[in-house]
């Protein structure tokens, strides 16, 4: 009897063990699969999705909005755009707030990064003429986001300067720094009661490379000097806007940063020359903004100052083509950010080209003197410069940690270019890049948020509508501009659910 009971309970135990073992094994298996596909993130990490005003809003000439430089260029020089298109209508996001906020909410993100169109808010560029419809539009967007528990993350300038200010020289004119600060103050004052995340400029490297354009048959003039004048104006404008935010709006308890982009630069060989060349292009493209703001000593990187000064001298200029910062300016700019925002997409290989410098050509490219290439084994996208190289993202993040004393970082853009609805390349890219992001956080990088680029297909600057970065596909020939989820929408949603439950 006892025996049989024993046998019985033994059997029972066996059965239970089997059941529990099976459960345990299946939990472990699911865990290991989801740990592989869905990397872990800290509980308070912010996930989001990103867009910009000119690329999605449309409504280029409604209710008081004035022409910006992209309106002007696409209308007057359509041949510079791959498909001769413009963003007059784009995704018509201006008329689709409800629908788009619903899509954003359905993704399950914490935050939405968008930019304010300066020429919609201030049609004259100056703060004396505030356009009520611009205020209404962004108020509506901000309030709907907050009603859905989504934090607005605002970029004040994403490439679309009011054309009237371009006619004054755009960012080559140092007075434009003051006009930007007036605009920024007005935005803090108008929206800052509800908006806690601000960035001043998006990817100055890119708009400064074409700082003088839109007011001439040529899109680029004074290439040798205008990018450096623009760098100077942007840094002063950013730092003064930060000062205004801290002095006049501290009670709003928000944070302000700047968005810098960097394609990681890997030396093509281990020769000293190539290692120096890779370091040099990082300093010219990224350090020229990051060093004045995020380094302890401030100012431009020494290599950039020396090199431009030497080249300028050899070219017969009286002073360096790169403006020198005064002591006061260095102090104003240093530490003028609560965080560093990074747009990262891909990596290139860099080799030295110093031996081929033609000294009679004064240009930024000649100052840097490198050759850029890629590894033919890197998986491609439909954008010529975008390759799948997650380890380059990891190196980029470690570089920032080590070089700038581990600043607070938000990744404000990262994404892939692929047209197909079944966008397996985009899913693979997000898996790979989010994994190394998670690794970098485990290795001590102070990264606080990540924004996928982009919510939906949009006007991709010079590529027009030929390149697709959207989680949502947009039909640009349908007047209603319907948005249709690609496979990556489901992937990102699932990822977000797991990234959170994994903690």
Ligand X SMILES: *[C@@H]1O[C@H](CO)[C@@H](O)[C@H](O)[C@H]1NC(C)=O
Active-site residue list: 203, 413
Rounded to whole angstroms, what are the CA distances from 155 to 191, 202, 203, 270, 483? 12, 7, 11, 39, 23
- Give dist(CA 219, CA 73) in Å, integer: 8
- Give dist(CA 17, CA 189) in Å, integer: 64
- Pick from 459, 383, 457: which is nearest to 425 by CA? 383
- Give dist(CA 236, CA 256) in Å, integer: 15
202, β-bridge pairs: 259
Least distance (Å) between residue 191 CB and ligand X:
26
Q: Which residues contact 444 (CB under 8 A, 6 or more apart)?
A: 401, 406
Least distance (Å) between residue 361 CB and ligand X:
5
- Give dist(CA 372, CA 281) in Å, integer: 10
Q: What is the CA radius of gyration of the chain?
A: 25
Nearer to ligand X, 355 or 478 (CB): 478
Nearer to ligand X, 1 or 479 (CB): 479
- Give dist(CA 117, CA 167) in Å, integer: 18
Tokens of 503: 């903690």
Beta-carbon count within 10 A of 318 CB: 6
- Give dist(CA 202, CA 241) in Å, integer: 14
Half-sphere exposure of 15 (CA within 13 A, CB side): 6
Least distance (Å) between residue 351 CB and ligand X:
10
Least distance (Å) between residue 270 CB and ligand X:
4
- Give dist(CA 302, CA 289) in Å, integer: 13
Q: Which residues contact 158 (CB under 8 A, 6 or more apart)?
A: 52, 53, 54, 55, 115, 202
Strand segments, DSSP code E, in 104-196 are 111-115, 151-157
259, β-bridge pairs: 202, 341
Residue 259 φ/ψ, nearest 5 degrees: -100, 115
Q: What is the total residue count of the chain?
A: 503
Nearer to ligand X, 148 or 302 (CB): 302
Nearer to ligand X, 280 or 426 (CB): 280
Nearer to ligand X, 13 or 361 (CB): 361
- Give dist(CA 136, CA 132) in Å, integer: 6
- Provide the binding-site residues for ligand X, judged by CB under 6 A: 61, 88, 269-270, 303, 306-307, 310, 358, 360-361, 475, 477-478
Nearer to ligand X, 244 or 309 (CB): 309
Nearer to ligand X, 139 or 475 (CB): 475
Least distance (Å) between residue 310 CB and ligand X:
4
The angle at the Cα of 399, spanning 396 to 402, to the nearest 5 degrees, equals 155
Nearer to ligand X, 29 or 475 (CB): 475
Least distance (Å) between residue 482 CB and ligand X:
8
Nearer to ligand X, 361 or 503 (CB): 361
- Give dist(CA 137, CA 158) in Å, integer: 17
Q: Three-class SS string for 404-421?
A: CCCCCEEEEECCCCCCCC
- Give dist(CA 433, CA 491) in Å, integer: 14
Least distance (Å) between residue 438 CB and ligand X:
23
Least distance (Å) between residue 349 CB and ligand X:
8
Q: Are 316 and 331 in contact (CB under 8 A)?
A: no
Residue 354 φ/ψ, nearest 5 degrees: -60, -30
Nearer to ligand X, 15 or 324 (CB): 324
């Amino acid at each position: 009897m006892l025996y049989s009971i024993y046998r019985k309970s033994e059997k029972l135990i066996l059965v239970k063990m089997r059941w529990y073992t099976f459960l345990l094994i299946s939990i472990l298996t699911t865990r290991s699969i989801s740990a592989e596909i869905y990397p872990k993130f800290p509980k308070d990490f912010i996930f989001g999705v990103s867009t910009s005003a000119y690329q999605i809003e449309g409504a280029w000439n409604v209710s008081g909005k004035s022409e910006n430089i992209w309106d002007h260029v696409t209308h007057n020089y359509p041949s510079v755009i791959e498909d001769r298109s413009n963003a007059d209508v784009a995704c018509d996001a201006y008329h689709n707030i409800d629908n788009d906020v619903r899509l954003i909410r359905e993704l399950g993100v914490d935050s939405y990064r968008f930019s304010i169109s300066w020429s919609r808010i201030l049609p004259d560029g100056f703060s004396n003429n505030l356009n009520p419809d611009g205020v209404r539009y962004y108020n509506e967007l901000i309030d709907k986001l907050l009603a859905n528990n989504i934090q607005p993350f605002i970029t004040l300038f994403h490439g679309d300067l009011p054309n009237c200010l371009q006619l004054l020289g755009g960012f080559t004119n140092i007075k434009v720094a003051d006009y930007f600060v007036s605009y920024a103050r007005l935005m803090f004052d108008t929206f800052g009661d509800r908006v806690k995340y601000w960035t001043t400029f998006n990817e100055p490297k890119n708009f400064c490379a074409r700082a003088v354009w839109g007011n001439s048959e040529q899109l680029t003039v004074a290439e040798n000097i205008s990018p450096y004048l623009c760098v100077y104006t942007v840094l002063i404008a950013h730092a003064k806007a930060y000062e205004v935010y801290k002095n006049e709006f501290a009670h709003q308890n928000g944070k302000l940063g700047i968005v810098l982009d960097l394609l990681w630069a890997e030396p093509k060989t281990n020769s000293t020359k190539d290692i120096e060349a890779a370091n040099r292009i990082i300093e010219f493209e990224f350090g020229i903004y990051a060093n004045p703001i995020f380094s302890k000593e401030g100012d431009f990187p020494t290599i950039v100052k020396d090199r431009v000064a030497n080249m300028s001298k050899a070219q017969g200029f009286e002073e360096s083509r790169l403006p020198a910062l005064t002591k006061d300016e260095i102090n104003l700019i240093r530490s003028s950010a609560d965080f560093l925002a990074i747009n990262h997409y891909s990596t290139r290989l860099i080799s030295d080209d110093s031996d081929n410098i033609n000294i009679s050509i004064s240009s930024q490219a000649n100052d840097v003197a490198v050759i850029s290439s890629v590894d033919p084994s890197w998986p491609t996208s439909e954008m010529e410069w975008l390759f799948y190289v997650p380890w380059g993202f990891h190196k980029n993040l470690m570089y920032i940690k080590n070089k700038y004393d581990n600043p607070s970082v938000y990744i404000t853009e990262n994404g892939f270019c692929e047209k197909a609805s079944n966008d397996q390349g985009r899913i693979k890219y997000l898996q790979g890049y989010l994994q190394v992001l998670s690794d970098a956080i485990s290795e001590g990088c102070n990264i606080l948020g990540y924004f996928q680029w982009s919510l939906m297909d949009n006007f991709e600057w010079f590529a027009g509508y030929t390149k697709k970065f959207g989680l949502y596909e947009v039909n640009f020939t349908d007047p209603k501009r319907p948005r249709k989820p690609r496979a990556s929408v489901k992937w990102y949603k699932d990822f977000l659910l797991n990234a959170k439950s994994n903690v």
